[in-house]
Amino acid sequence: MKRIAILGSTGSIGTQTLDVVRMHPETLRVTGLAAHSNGALLQEQAAEFGPKHLGMFDADIASQIGALSGMDGLIEIATSEDVDLVVVSVSGMIGLRPTIAALDAGKEVALASKEVLVAGGSIVMPRAFPNRLRPIDSEHSAVLQCLQGERLDQVDQIILTASGGPFRGWSRYCLENVTVDQALDHPTWRMGGKITIDSATLMNKGLELIEACWLFDISPDQVQIIVHPESIIHSMVKFDDGSVIGQIGHPDMKLPIQYALFGPERISSPAKPWSPVDTPNLTFELLDEATFTLPDVAREAFKIGGLAPAQVNAVNEEAANAFLRNEIGFMDIVRCVERSLNGAKAGTLELESILATDLEARETWRELLDRNRGVV
């Protein structure tokens, strides 16, 4: 019996993790649940799964439902003695401290929060070995599966696939007038608001590129992004001998979630099995780097190193959320992130310096727009 805590249990990844638990009640037991502010759904989940620990990031709602509150509550759940594995699927940088605390406490971590490794990979990964941090992202789960039994020193290239998002084939000019509803209309995946906007700008692929470099100890120049509209091949690995191994399946996050919980063991999954006749025509395209520039911005941030990835990540998160609130335009997100590399800091890579850079970037990100387009 593996005892798990889910941080972000009311979000897309959290609810699908509970679907996996429902299918394997004999091997998985939920001992902790935490959410940001959806108290009603958290209580429903608690009534079904009976966890010992409940957490709510919003302190007011936490007091109403009798849950642990804030960051301290998340960390307490992540380090509890009756937790073996922590699923970190909270939005944004909130997941960094609980991930570090869980690893320091000897827990396994199944990670869905991209920002944890993007901003804090340098301090997270030394804590993660051997094999105590497993990715939930479908792309990185695919790479991990392709690498089973293989040698990392024989990897020539990691190929991350991208659906292309809702604006595949559009020009930068056309993207100026994109609405929030258009950006949230992803052709393949159903996800939370911020990550769906990242998929529309293709910043999600930039964040995944940085994650891949940390997870698989590979140079950013060895990570290629290829557009694959059908979203059936979730990523591939090319080896020194020229052969390529890919992981194939329908777009369903329950499979990578289950692999993060049980891998490399293979057991029955709630995901629909794939057959070659389901999608006989698979297509691939080069990424339009002239229109979708943010993956290259992320690549450059990783090369600069230091606190640059944390700075770029924070600016992107603030700009994407501002767009969701209809405060700025779609291409303003892109301009903000492109300019965020200016004056990127080297700095000392410690938890406090990363968090300080993150906070500073969030407090000043609008200046990136003010200096270039007047009033935001």
Taking the chain (376 residues) in runs of 10, the rounded mean pLDDT of each run is 96 95 95 96 97 95 94 97 97 92 97 94 91 94 96 96 93 93 82 86 96 96 96 97 96 94 88 88 95 96 93 93 92 92 77 91 79 50
Provide the pLDDT for residue 195.
85
Provide the pLDDT for residue 343.
72
Provide the pLDDT for residue 300.
95
Residue 337 and residue 312 in contact, taking contact as beta carbons nearer than 8 Å: yes
Structure tokens at 267: 């057991």
Provide the pLDDT for residue 344.
74
From the options 2.30.42.10, 3.40.50.720, 2.60.120.10, 3.60.20.10, give the CATH code of 2-112. Answer: 3.40.50.720
Which residues touch 211 (CB under 8 Å, ≥6 apart)?
Answer: 114, 117, 118, 121, 135, 137, 140
Burial class (CB in 10 A: 0-12, 13-18, 19+), 339: middle
Q: Which of 14, 182, 140 is nearest to 88 (CA)?
A: 14
Q: Which of 222, 107, 201, 102 is nearest to 156 (CA)?
A: 222
Secondary element (H or E) of residue 182? helix 180-183
What is the rounded CA–CA span in Å between residue 49 and residue 33? 9
- Give alpha helix (H) positions in 263-350: 294-304, 308-324, 330-339
Provide the pLDDT for residue 373.
55
From the options 3.40.50.150, 1.20.1730.10, 3.40.960.10, 1.10.1740.10, give the CATH code of 141-373. Answer: 1.10.1740.10
In eight-state DSSP terms, residue 364 is: H
Provide the pLDDT for residue 375.
41
Integer angstrom CA distances of residue 12 from 221, 244, 253? 31, 31, 9
Provide the pLDDT for residue 4.
98
Whether the ω angle into residue 220 lies within 30 degrees of 0, i.e. cis, is no
- The model carries a pTM of 0.93
Provide the pLDDT for residue 292.
96
**Domain chopping of the chain, boundaries:** 2-112, 141-373
Instruction: Give the phi and the psi of residue 316 in degrees, each rounded to 5.
Output: -60, -45
